[in-house]
Structure 1
């Protein structure tokens, strides 16, 4: 098992939420995964690539988005902010579609806000129990 979780949340600001707020949220999601699930590694390319590339430069943005998909391909799960509740950004939509077409588990980021024992119990409850043969 790879044990890597891809954090999928917006980077660019909008009329409702600033870029700084989006960065703060992404950092928070990474911290949640790292603290509550230390066996997992959060991957958030939109926190990493802007450290040395300008997202407003179309070539740099294309590079970051492409390399983000390469990183997503290494992950077991993609954790999406606001899954089914908010409209994903262009980059998020691309990542979600890639995950769908490549069999990567897609969950809302809230899935990881529960400690591991509660998450495991929820996973078990969601799957139907097999009945013993009679």
Structure 2
């Protein structure tokens, strides 16, 4: 059932939510189903990496430790810049991390901290990316 409908993990017996193979299969249907995985699997780098490959916003359900894993967060933001919202606070204050997020998804700027929301260079980057996106849409 999980191979056909990843969301079925949400109603599955807890034993299945702790089964890495079952969870990995479900994640390939829906990355955010990570929310239904056991706490242990939400702290498993390999499991979280599969989830963010399919949906960068699945970072929301990763353990705090993995939300502070720079490579993993960069991978999530490459898939969806708004994954910045779920990164650790230090990354949300980090100029390069914020720029990477905004370069992928301009509205990710709203998740920046430490005065970076009002940073002229980053605001300009967001405007430039928005313009490029609009031009591609034509």
TM-score normalised by length of structure 1: 0.29
Which structure carries more helix by proportion?
Answer: 2
Which structure carries more strand by proportion?
Answer: 1
TM-score normalised by length of structure 2: 0.29
**Greater relative contact order, per chain length (Cα 8 Å cut-off, separation 6+):** 1
